[in-house]
Structure 1
């Protein structure tokens, strides 16, 4: 990294920290963690996902499945084609398209299957990432660029396939801790000796006590000192999506667990992780604006919120089983011999339990269209939710 780039990063980080400190003071000394995470990731012009530094791939902070192998997007395209065929038309809406690699892979595979969507829409709040995605499509599939458009808010109406790959883990979460007497405390962010610090206070965020109490009723997360996260924004997000989506299938792909596994006693420090230059750590209060902050997904909560919003549960499985169901082996066999070695290496990363195969899950939520769906045909784990 050049000195000039380092200076820009340091300036962004300082300005973002000033913004966080101003909100801490405006709120009487403590900022709820979900608001801190929102600022760190999405503050206009300063947050990690809206500032201009590279994020994806070898030159960024982490690698996502589309950067590992084109087989990921090609398999997703198979599932998309199945939905579009059943609807007899429709669009694709991708949330947070990252580097644009997934959009390229899906579009090219759908073109080969003669099942292109009416539009490929990308909901992307970052102007910088919009330009990178547009450039990626222009380079790899220029003849398909005219079929794409970019949004900063949900469309008024939508039929087709929704893709959210590694989106839910970047939603701001609330954090809680159980005190010595088992009382529910909210983790927030304050200041001490010129540093941002974590503080535990009586809950101030609407819905947090009820959500943690529900975990206790299920026999989970009930040991003094236990701390973890809850995504209270998930239900409003799915409700908003349901209001605009009349028919189609939403595919939510991320790392996470069903609720009973998420809040296991051994996960007593939660799942919050930060990623900076391909190094994972647990301190969200450093490298502000320059590092990713994520939390694993409670897929039970996602399924419940989806059903409450008007979706039907279409399936839940591991990434490995989903890709196998979509024919990853067939796609590998049909590929050119000169690409076989690289595809095999990528496939291992996508499928192996020690890599992404079991750590990542796929949740399907359907509305106005019936399955069964290829991605959930190999092994549907909905009974674990």
Structure 2
């Protein structure tokens, strides 16, 4: 592997042990490439880069979540930004538990455990009755961090937390997935001005590289033909893995609600003619760039979520679409300003950082508009307060 083939000068190089991990993953993917005849669809490469056992970005041991690149992390999420996010999210979770008559919570991709600890404490403070808080996470390193975080921040509730290696066939309760859908593998397609091609991965000149092949599957062509490219070059993604995950969760959900929070757009905005470069993005040491072949296994690879497909996948299972709105509207409806008001403004050392973090969560220029919340339910007669105004389900 030649890391200089992909490393921008502005990005720091990993240490020897991390680089050895990446090189081991490269060897595995190259072996799979050879078995497959020298070409892999991009979603398979992305799956291996993120989830290969022990070596992938999410299944390996590298630190991922944090506030700064110099702490070894790559990006920050809302629960890391402010504890008020978890405290506010706990309100619709508690409301859904009560409305559905269920007593269990399940979180996917729990990160450092800060969201879990915050929701646990907030549910307890709200007087919500619940029996268990299950976490599904592939990373052994993150599981250990989650356990430590929860035991330190919610010691009296830690006994209710368990980690699952497999999903139950049936679940009654509330499901939470914060920035989970964007980490699902995507397929890449490119329009060259005359025809659609599927973008895959080859090994060329000592490094991974893109390689395009003609699209032949009728289902792929049907979707791609609806995209307005104006006859120009165009690159985009499709989200079969995220849709399949949504179907699995909504099929498992026998009663209760499922909340997914992520960045993205409805289909008509996602496949807009002006979004000609797609949304694939990589995160390494808090710097965003577009090269998915940089240090495989050591950087995050994501794509924005196409929420219309997610909505269709959930509804296909018979679940109800509970709501779809911006993160800002969801948090405001759920009472984040009330949560903030519990901090004394005179205590400027606490209040000002909290208020600044809330501004980032709500601002259109930060996370408030790009991030959306979509929810599904079974057995709930009415909507929740968090979707009481500003619901955009009609835009899907």
Task: Indicate whether the TM-score tops 0.5.
Answer: yes
Deviates more, 1:219-228 or 1:59-68: 219-228
Q: Tell me the equivalent position of 2:286.
A: 278
Matches within 5 A, 1:1-385: 6-58=15-67, 59=71, 60-181=73-194, 183-203=195-215, 209-217=218-226, 219-221=227-229, 223-337=231-345, 338=347, 339-385=350-396
* Count of equivalent residues: 378
| Alpha carbons of structure 1 residues 128 and 222: separation in structure 2 relative to 1, 3 Å | farther
Q: Is the Cα contact below 8 Å between 1:234 and 1:305 reproduced in 2?
A: no
Deviations 1:317-352 (A, max 9, x none): 000000000001111112244321121011011000
State the alpha-carbon separation in 2 of the partners of residues 144 and 108 from structure 1.
Answer: 8
Whole-Å separation in 2 of the counterparts to 1:264 and 1:30: 29
RMSD: 1.7
3-state secondary structure, aligned to 1:266? coil
In structure 1, C-alpha distance between the alignment counterparts of 2:187 and 2:271, rounded to whole Å = 15
Aligned mates of 1:223, 1:316 — CA distance in 2: 32
What's the offset of the Cα at 1:87?
2.1
Q: TM-score, normalised by structure 2?
A: 0.92
SS at match of 1:233: helix
Q: Structure 1: any 5+ residue segments left out of the alignment?
A: none
Is the partner of 1:142 in helix, strand or coil? Answer: coil
Runs of 4+ in structure 1 off by over 4 angstroms are none
Helix, strand or coil: the match of 2:147?
helix
Query: Which runs of 5 or more structure 2 residues have no equivalent in the other structure?
Result: 1-11
Provide the C-alpha distance between the structure 1 equivalents of 2:229 and 2:160, rounded to a whole number of angstroms: 47
**In the alignment, which residue of structure 1 is the partner of 2:4?**
none
> Residues 104 and 161 (structure 1 numbering): CA distance in 2 closer, same or farther, change over 3 Å?
same
Equivalent residues of 2:259, 2:376 under 8 A apart: yes
